Amino acid sequence: MKKTPLHAAHVAMKAQMAEFAGYDMPIQYPDGVMTEHNWTRENAGIFDVSHMGQITFSGEGVAEFLEKVTPSTFSTLGENVAKYSVLTNEEGGMVDDLIITRTGENKFFAVVNGACKDKDIAWLQQHLPPTVMMIHHENRALIALQGPKSESALRDALGIETADLNYMRFMVHKDFFISRLGYTGEDGFEISLPADRAEAVWNKLLAHKDVKAIGLAARDSLRLEMGYPLYGHDIDATTSPVEADSTWIMGKRQNTTFIGNERVMKELEKGASRKRVGIKITGRGVAREGAEVFDAAGTNQIGVLTSGGFSPTLKAAIGQAYIETEHALNGVKINIRVRDRDIEAEISDMPFVKAKTKKAAKKKAA
């Protein structure tokens, strides 16, 4: 297995390690998943996400290239603004989801999923025009700092002031790339930095009284509460943005020339046969990925669960599922079949927990 630049730090902290995306990653630390989850919601959690892929694009026609490989619009994106999008294949499915940030007139920075980065890079290279340069930054680490005390912890520990940095915005601090975003629904940051400096920065942040190390298990429960999709589970190569209920990534000025546009535009016009929805378990039990979803009578299967688990914040079981569109309405009663037993549930809006991302404070007039 591969190791991130922070691997030795995790082992020293007695983290429970396991394979994830080809890397030996911390699943949880001795305090346990529940404590880690709640700490992030109340304080500041630090995550090693260095397994993810960091890529820069530059050159003439780079925005047009990104508009070919995603359904989003980048030619009008402001500088230092980040956007969530997906790479689409010829069938209108998803190669991966990713965050793309404009860092200059003809420059963009992207972060892709660790499990997908090799195939993503191959896919992007396949469609890359000769005027655009793509660089995979394998010598950089990525640390996420998430939670309501993230801003103060970053300032106290590293002397980095981010009060004027808005949500989904980007800044450069020396050789750090700092983005105010994350996959927990909390205020927070992702910090890209040289790999040889990662452990020192990790330790400085971890020494702050409000910061604890958080493993991948709590990261998953945090993202599930927000209704964020996980690639390979809630979205994949067969899933369209319409099915995934992610058409907002196309924006107001629709991009209609991207790879796989035929299926997506057809589904936008006529609707898709299924839709990703939130699920709240109202009966006793927890349902996991792969559980079958039935109607209220328990006679007709109408979908399948793609993510599921216990929400520490809500103290209830939740999940995501693909449901036949005619049944995919908020409040519809359903049954989840787990080990030949039906558990009562209902379709729910997402996110399950309100996002608490921060907008920068308005400056007072002089």
User: 243 phi and psi, to 5 degrees?
Assistant: -60, -40
**Range(s) of the chain covered by CATH 3.30.70.1400:** 54-128
User: 171 phi and psi, to 5 degrees?
Assistant: -145, 160
Residue 363's pLDDT band (cuts 50, 70, 90): very low
- The pTM of the full predicted model, rounded to 2 decimals, is 0.95
Tens-digit pLDDT profile for residues 172-230: 999 999 999 999 999 999 999 999 999 999 999 999 999 999 999 999 999 999 999 99
Give which of 201, 208, 209 is closest to 177, Cα–Cα: 201
Tens-digit pLDDT profile for residues 11-25: 999 999 999 999 999
Give pLDDT, residue 358: 80
Give which of 50, 48, 28 is closest to 37, Cα–Cα: 28
Task: Let me know: does 185 contact 356? Beta carbons within 8 Å.
Answer: yes
Tens-digit pLDDT profile for residues 18-54: 999 999 999 999 999 999 999 999 999 999 999 999 9
As a whole number, mean pLDDT of residues 76-84 equals: 97
Give pLDDT, residue 254: 76
Give pLDDT, residue 59: 98
pLDDT at 360 over 70: no
What residues does 171 pair with on adjacent strands?
Answer: 178
Which of the listed CATH numbers 3.30.70.1400, 3.40.720.10, 3.40.50.300, 3.30.460.10 matches domain 54-128? 3.30.70.1400
Per CATH, is 273-348 categorized as 1.20.120.420? no
SS3 labels along 252-265 = CCCCCCCCCHHHHH
Three-state secondary structure call for residue 36: helix
Task: Let me know: does 213 contact 13? Beta carbons within 8 Å.
Answer: yes
What residues does 170 pair with on adjacent strands?
Answer: 179
Tens-digit pLDDT profile for residues 54-69: 999 999 999 999 999 9
**Range(s) of the chain covered by CATH 2.40.30.110:** 273-348
What residues does 333 pair with on adjacent strands?
Answer: 346
Instruction: List Cβ neighbours of 261 (8 Å cut-off, separation of 6 or more).
Output: 71, 88, 92
The per-residue pLDDT of the chain, averaged, comes to 96
Q: Return the CATH number of the domain spanning residue range 7-52+138-225.
A: 3.30.1360.120
- Fill in the amino acid letter for 144: A
Tens-digit pLDDT profile for residues 290-311: 999 999 999 999 999 999 999 9
Written as six digits, the tokens of 275 are: 């839709």
